[in-house]
């Protein structure tokens, strides 16, 4: 059967700055997913998109075609509103861990399909796998049953969710086309819309430890994603938040789980609590539950109860001790005064080099590896007192982690930290 379009004509059209028609977009994404268009031709199209961009209509059709390459989940049978959250990734960003059970404790189901870490940014699934017995794979019937009975699930996405994105994501990674707002936005939103939640809250990070280093780029990405979600009938809002310094007091795997449990127990670092509650309020509002104050569910233990049930439902033991590192190394404060810089990217790279992250998707990670710190930006420190603690299972990793931290700590400098929440976009 003759194809209705020629891939070369589609590539040339975008290369020359023409708008692609809906049928052209749907055809080439479908043909590529099915293997009828080879990687080299799709690579050329991605590069053309990288330089030429996409119109709002092109991007909407492109994203819809990616969703339609697989299954869009129907969660209407749950009998309760649903809301999801996506973060563009950062250092110490353990917010999903307390957020999902917190929102579920307030009566809104949370179908949270999460990923693994790569490079200096941590992955939610890697963190949760530091809990004894916990498993990331939850199959369809178990997934829906857990949403009904527990109210929250955090797990890996199945192969049926936006398969076009899986192929395109791998191709972008090796063709230098990752840093494109239309391609980033369509990748994120195709998966999130396909999850089937009625409301979506986006946490778009900006700063040294974020994918979008500057606030203007983060704003553009957030606005683009909100538009795609709204076009698809999902109530979508974005918060642009700071990632010039790491979140909380830990970056790694088990250390972040421990911190999340502190938050669920009514404690934890102030910035983690503030952002968790801000995102929870947005999720509840999107699901039509503005009347519920999530702070109450943290204070009275309801969120902790859901956490324990959520972990147990996926084979984990919420009471099991978390892995501890074989080696620790203390970094002291360089001076006395106000901590004005703790660079998020440097801390993330240090945690990665200690074994908390991976360089390739197939690499293993260490559950016990990571970095903790005793003071955040704006706090007082004293010269020579412990500031950071490096955790690893392999002592030979420590010197390279220390190299990553050179220049990362500043006391009484001219650095001005970003506000935790910079902007709200609807």
- Residue 57's CB: how many other CB atoms inside 10 A? 14
Respond yes or no: is residue 120 known to be catalytic.
no
Respond yes or no: is residue 187 known to be catalytic.
yes
Respond yes or no: is residue 192 known to be catalytic.
no
Distance from C-alpha of 401 to C-alpha of 231, rounded to nearest angstrom? 44
Question: For residue 252, is it left (φ>0), alpha (ψ between -120 and 50) or beta?
Answer: left
Distance from C-alpha of 318 to C-alpha of 310, rounded to nearest angstrom? 9
Distance from C-alpha of 375 to C-alpha of 279, rounded to nearest angstrom? 24
Catalytic one among 165, 203, 244, 271? Answer: 165
Buried b (16+ CB within 10 A) or exposed e, 130-157: bbbebebebeeeebbebbeebbbbbbbb
Sheet holding 370-373, edge to edge: 250-252, 370-373, 386-392, 327-332
Cβ-based burial of 346 (10 A; exposed 0-12, middle 13-18, buried ≥19): buried
Q: What are phi and psi of 232, to 5 degrees?
A: -90, 5
Question: 423: which strand partners?
Answer: 240
Respond yes or no: is residue 165 known to be catalytic.
yes
Catalytic one among 26, 73, 116, 191? Answer: 191
Respond yes or no: is residue 94 known to be catalytic.
no
Whether the Cβ atoms of residue 50 and residue 180 lie closer than 8 Å to each other: yes
Catalytic one among 73, 86, 166, 397? Answer: 86
Written in H, E and C, the secondary structure of 370-408 is EEEECCCCCCEECCCCEEEEEEECCHHHHHHHHHHCCCC
Catalytic one among 14, 94, 172, 235? Answer: 172
Catalytic one among 187, 190, 250, 366? Answer: 187
Whether the Cβ atoms of residue 183 and residue 67 lie closer than 8 Å to each other: no
Q: Which of 139, 170, 171, 167 is nearest to 153 (CA)?
A: 139
Distance from C-alpha of 141 to C-alpha of 189, rounded to nearest angstrom? 24
Q: Which of 422, 426, 425 is nearest to 206 (CA)?
A: 422
Whether the Cβ atoms of residue 393 and residue 369 lie closer than 8 Å to each other: yes
Distance from C-alpha of 94 to C-alpha of 273, rounded to nearest angstrom? 11
Question: For residue 108, is it left (φ>0), alpha (ψ between -120 and 50) or beta?
Answer: beta
Residues designated as active site: 86, 165, 172, 187, 191
């Amino acid at each position: 059967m003759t194809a209705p379009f020629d891939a070369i004509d589609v590539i040339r059209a975008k290369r020359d700055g023409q708008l692609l028609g809906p049928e052209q977009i749907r055809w080439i994404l479908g043909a590529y997913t099915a293997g009828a268009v080879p990687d080299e031709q799709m690579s050329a199209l991605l590069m053309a998109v990288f330089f030429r961009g996409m119109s709002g209509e092109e991007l909407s059709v492109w994203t819809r075609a990616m969703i339609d390459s697989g299954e869009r989940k129907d969660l209407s049978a749950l009998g309760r509103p649903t809301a999801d959250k996506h973060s563009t990734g950062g250092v110490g960003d353990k917010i999903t861990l307390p957020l999902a059970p917190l929102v579920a404790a307030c009566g809104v189901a949370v179908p949270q399909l999460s990923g693994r870490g790569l490079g200096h940014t941590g992955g939610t699934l890697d963190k949760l796998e530091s809990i004894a017995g916990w498993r990331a794979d939850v199959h369809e019937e178990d997934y829906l049953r857990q949403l009904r009975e527990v109210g929250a699930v955090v797990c890996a996405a199945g192969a049926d969710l936006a398969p076009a994105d899986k192929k395109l994501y791998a191709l972008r990674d090796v063709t230098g086309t990752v840093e494109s707002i239309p391609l980033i936005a369509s990748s994120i939103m195709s998966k999130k819309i396909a999850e089937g939640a009625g409301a979506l809250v986006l946490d778009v990070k900006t700063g040294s430890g974020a994918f979008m280093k500057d606030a203007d780029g983060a704003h553009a990405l957030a606005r683009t994603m909100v538009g795609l979600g709204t076009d698809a009938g999902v109530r979508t809002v974005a918060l642009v938040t700071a990632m010039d310094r790491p979140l909380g007091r830990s970056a790694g795997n088990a250390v972040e789980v421990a911190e999340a449990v502190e938050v669920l127990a009514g404690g934890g670092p102030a910035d983690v609590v503030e952002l968790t509650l801000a995102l929870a309020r947005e999720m509840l509002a999107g699901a039509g539950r503005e009347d519920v104050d999530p702070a109450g569910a943290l204070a009275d233990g309801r969120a902790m109860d859901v956490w324990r049930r959520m972990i147990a439902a996926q084979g984990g033991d919420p009471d099991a001790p978390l892995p501890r590192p074989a080696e620790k190394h203390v970094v002291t404060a360089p001076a006395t005064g106000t901590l004005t810089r703790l660079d998020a990217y440097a801390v993330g790279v240090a945690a990665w080099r200690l074994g908390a992250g991976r360089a390739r998707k197939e690499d293993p990670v260490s559950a016990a590896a990571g970095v903790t710190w005793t003071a955040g930006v704006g706090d007082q420190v004293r010269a020579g007192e412990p500031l950071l603690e490096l955790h690893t299972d392999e002592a030979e990793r420590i010197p390279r982690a220390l190299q990553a931290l050179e220049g990362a700590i500043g006391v009484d400098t001219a650095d001005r930290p970003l506000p935790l929440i910079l902007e709200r976009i609807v």
